[in-house]
Structure 1
Amino acid sequence: MHSEILLYDGFDELDAVGPYEVFETAGAFGADCSARLVTLDARETVTASHGLRVGTDGTFNPDSSDADVLLVPGGGWSDPSEPGAGMEAENGEIPDAIAAYAQRGGVVAGVCTGGMLLAHAGVLDGRPAVTHATALDDLREMNVDIQDTRFVDDGDVLTAGGVTSGLDLALHLVERECGLKIADQVAAEIEYERQTEPARN
């Protein structure tokens, strides 16, 4: 499972770095699993919501990406004048890229308010999903079947609630694609007690 994690200024650090560590640790245990940190525009670093500057591995092109999974982190939603998911939703470039990738058959996953970017891409229309508690009312207004759970697996679209739930989503993806043994090894390595039951449609 090759994943690309799509960064933008104002993304929440753990939303991206947590799943990145899960995927890379799975690879270290012998699974066919890896992750890259990507942006839409070519740049060397991205500044996250708490000021962490993160290096990138390349750019994301929805028309040519060979990733099995596109993971979109969340970050600042309520004030679209500040860098974060709210600003990116209004800008429209990331939702457009998500929609194009999904139309090619790619699996998309949103962590925290990254799910709002999936909603703006149209990939959550009529489907079960969850996002950070502070954005649930906004998600309800977008023809989405809100679930009261840590994360939701709806096949080719997955979403997770608040920040740490991205670890549960990532471990679930590892189990789904690479097996329970590897997922358990990763959880033990990072000393994380996972919640394993997603909501399913």
Structure 2
Amino acid sequence: MNVDILLYDGFDELDAVGPYEVFQTAGAFGADCEARMVTLADAESVTASHGLRVGVDGTLGDAHDPDAGGPNVLLVPGGGWSDSSKSGAGMEAEKGAIPEAVAAHADRGGVVAGVCTGGMLLARAGVLDGRRAVTHASALDDLRATDAVVTEARFVDDGDVLTAGGVTSGLDLALHLVERECGADVAARVAGEIEYERRSEPVEK
């Protein structure tokens, strides 16, 4: 499983770094699992919502070869949805480039995942139309205004589209993906390694 985590200025730190650690830990345990931090345009680093500067591994355009084996997952973190005048998911929704990239990835048959208000960027891309989904509690009314089937769960697995609620639920989504693609034993070992108690089962299609 190859995971590209798409960063932008103002993303929430844990939305991206938490899943990244889960995926990389699974890989360290021998699973076919690798994660990268990517951006749409060349950048050495991106500044997150609380000021953390995160290094970038590459751009989405040089993503993994789809023939390399395993699903290609594009994970979009959230952060800063309510005020589109500031860096964050709201501003990226208005710019439109990230929603376009998400839609293109889905059209190529890739798996897309949104953590927190990253789910709103998936909604803007149209990939949540008619699909079960959740986002951060503060944006649920905005999600209800789309064509998504809003499900108030910690995270939702709708096949090739997955969404998680607020911040720490991204850990549950990532562990679920590891279990789904790499096995329950690997997911349990990762959860033990990071000393995280998984809190819920997903709502599945």
What's the TM-score bracket when you normalise by the shorter of the two chains?
A: over 0.9
Q: Distance in 2 between matches of 1:156 and 1:62?
A: 21
Q: Distance in 2 between matches of 1:129 and 1:28?
A: 30
What is the match of residue 68 of structure 1?
A: 72
Change (3 A) 1:64 1:181: closer
Q: Distance in 2 between matches of 1:200 and 1:189?
A: 26
Query: 1:117 is aligned with what amino acid?
Result: L
CA contact (8 A) 1:130 1:159 kept: yes
CA contact (8 A) 1:4 1:35 kept: yes
Deviates more, 1:56-65 or 1:123-132: 56-65
Question: Is 2:200 the partner of 1:193?
Answer: no
What is the match of residue 59 of structure 2?
A: 59
Q: Secondary structure at the match of 2:180?
A: helix
Aligned residues: 201
CA contact (8 A) 1:12 1:75 kept: yes
Q: Secondary structure at the match of 2:112?
A: strand
Question: Is 2:101 the partner of 1:97?
Answer: yes
TM-superposed CA distance for 1:143, in Å, is: 1.1
Q: Deviations over 1:58-79 (max 9, x none)?
A: 0002897647100000010000
What is the match of residue 14 of structure 1?
A: 14
Matches within 5 A, 1:139-178: 139-178=143-182
Query: 1:135 is aligned with what amino acid?
Result: A
Q: Distance in 2 between matches of 1:149 and 1:106?
A: 23
Q: Distance in 1 between matches of 2:130 and 2:88?
A: 25
Q: Distance in 2 between matches of 1:131 and 1:22?
A: 20
Query: 1:7 is aligned with what amino acid?
Result: L
CA contact (8 A) 1:112 1:162 kept: yes
Unmatched runs of 5 consecutive residues or more in structure 1 = none
State the identity as a percent: 74
CA contact (8 A) 1:45 1:56 kept: yes
Q: Distance in 2 between matches of 1:65 and 1:12?
A: 28
Compute the RMSD of aligned alpha carbons: 1.3
CA contact (8 A) 2:154 2:200 kept: no
Q: Distance in 2 between matches of 1:65 and 1:97?
A: 16
* TM-score, normalization by structure 2: 0.95
Question: Is 2:188 the partner of 1:184?
Answer: yes
Match of 2:84 among 80, 85, 94: 80
Query: 1:104 is aligned with what amino acid?
Result: R
What is the match of residue 41 of structure 1?
A: 41
CA contact (8 A) 2:49 2:88 kept: yes
Runs of 4+ in 1 over 6 A off after TM superposition: none
CA contact (8 A) 1:151 1:169 kept: yes
* TM-score, normalization by structure 1: 0.97
Q: Deviations over 1:70-121 (max 9, x none)?
A: 0000010000000000000000000000000100000000000000000000
Change (3 A) 1:119 1:62: farther
Query: 1:178 is aligned with what amino acid?
Result: C
Query: 1:6 is aligned with what amino acid?
Result: L
Q: Distance in 2 between matches of 1:158 and 1:17?
A: 17
Q: Distance in 1 between matches of 2:104 and 2:63?
A: 7
